[in-house]
Structure 1
Amino acid sequence: MTIPRTDVVIRTYGPGQVPPLLDLVADIWADAHPELVDNPGAATAGLSVPALHRQITGHLKWQGFTMVVAYAGGTAVGFGYAFPCSATYWFGPDLVDQVPQDARTERLMGLCELAVRPPWQSQGIGSRLHAGLLKAIAPKWSSLLALPSNQRGQDLYARLGYEYAGPYYNQPGGPEFDLLLMRTDSRTASPQ
């Protein structure tokens, strides 16, 4: 079911404003990823609501941490968060030498989460959240991890300009992610 598009407002939050939003964004994440909720294999691989809480809380320490939340009619319908980071941190020792030299030396944004509740998907909200993060962080490069099986996400990231940079494992024995990378110079304008 698709809900008719209404005015959507994107609000930007810094690290000190995020803790009261944790349950709200975790609820959005759970709605956007029903295949991972109550899935013991996903939870073991670190793909669960409690893992999301730990992940966000751990990332709050990064200077430049930014969260964006989309509201429609006063209800939160999507969110994303990212922070500027070093290439060594983001890509890890196995991939850092395989990405373009500029991605290793210019300002890099690590995009950690981007989720929209299913009834609000395919209405440009994910693109607007992404644009809000690019505007706030102003990177030259952006990178993210996506499950190969997340076709809807993969399609969005391809439309935004991300390209496959290699396989990535965020923990030993964990699932394989696609590491995606995008040069942002021509993509910092807000979508129409």
Structure 2
Amino acid sequence: MAPQFQRHDAKSAKDITSELVDVYARVYDVPPYIGDPFFSADTFRERLEAAFDSPGFETVTAWQDGRIIGYVHGATLPADKPWWTSLGNQRPADLVVLADAGGIFWLRELMVLPEFQSKGLGRQIHDTVIAGRAETVTALTCIVDNQPAHDAYLRWGYTIMGEIKHAPESPVYDAMYLPSR
């Protein structure tokens, strides 16, 4: 059975917060994330709930047999977002202008339950959310050491701008962007 995709704005995403956190908890229940407070389900819940208030917030969920098997969430990238501005001149000048105009989608999280990984579902969820966005460029941050995700984003056409940290306790991330579609 093929998964079904559903779009959620902030209001409808709030109704499935527990399910979203449950998926996160399963995906991040592997080394090196186990036991790291930055990757705890409670910390993720706080970040997710804070994201609901972001302009342009959206979640796309993939459902199969009545449960969420993967999802993505993101919002319009604020031009003054610290990770974004920390890149300075590493950002292409046209993207700085585009961010100032609200033209970049910030893909905040993309995850797929372990038993559904490596089957193309992540790409389907990714492409579904992007196809429905008004922004023409997508930006994200990916943990440098998360080789499967990192390699996938590069295969999908993302370009690395530079390295960032979201917080002192966070790992190092590559900031990436997917050129205009």
* TM-score, normalised by the number of residues in structure 1: 0.84
Gap change, CA 1:119 and 1:103, over 3 Å in 2: same
Which residue pairs with 1:188 in the alignment? none
Which residue pairs with 1:22 in the alignment? 17
Question: What amino acid maps onto 1:64 in structure 2?
Answer: G
Gap change, CA 1:112 and 1:38, over 3 Å in 2: closer
Which residue pairs with 1:184 in the alignment? 180
Q: Within the alignment, does 1:66 sit opposite 2:58 as a pair? A: yes
| Inter-partner Cα distance in structure 2 for 1:173 and 1:7 | 39
Question: What amino acid maps onto 2:77 in structure 1?
Answer: C
List per-residue Cα deviations over 1:75-125 (Å, max 9, x = no partner): 210011011123331644321432111211221111110000011112221
Residue number among 94, 98, 108 corresponding to 2:104 in the alignment = 108
* TM-score, normalised by the number of residues in structure 2: 0.89
Give the drift of 1:136.
2.5
| Inter-partner Cα distance in structure 2 for 1:170 and 1:58 | 15
Is the CA contact (8 Å cut-off) linking 2:83 and 2:166 kept in structure 1? no
Question: What amino acid maps onto 2:70 in structure 1?
Answer: G
Gaps of 5+ in 1: 1-5, 186-192
1:153-164 matches, within 5 Å, as 153-164=149-160
Which residue pairs with 1:189 in the alignment? none
List per-residue Cα deviations over 1:129-178 (Å, max 9, x = no partner): 11122122232211111111211111221122112111111112432111
Question: What amino acid maps onto 2:86 in structure 1?
Answer: D
| Inter-partner Cα distance in structure 2 for 1:168 and 1:114 | 18
Single out whichever of 112-121 and 17-26 deviates more from structure 2: 17-26
Give the drift of 1:38.
7.5
Is the CA contact (8 Å cut-off) linking 2:61 and 2:68 kept in structure 1? yes
Which residue pairs with 1:175 in the alignment? 171
Residue number among 42, 61, 79 corresponding to 1:87 in the alignment = 79
Is the CA contact (8 Å cut-off) linking 2:79 and 2:85 kept in structure 1? no
Q: Within the alignment, does 1:122 sit opposite 2:118 as a pair? A: yes
Is the CA contact (8 Å cut-off) linking 2:55 and 2:75 kept in structure 1? yes
CA root-mean-square deviation: 1.8
SS at match of 2:141: strand
Gaps of 5+ in 2: none
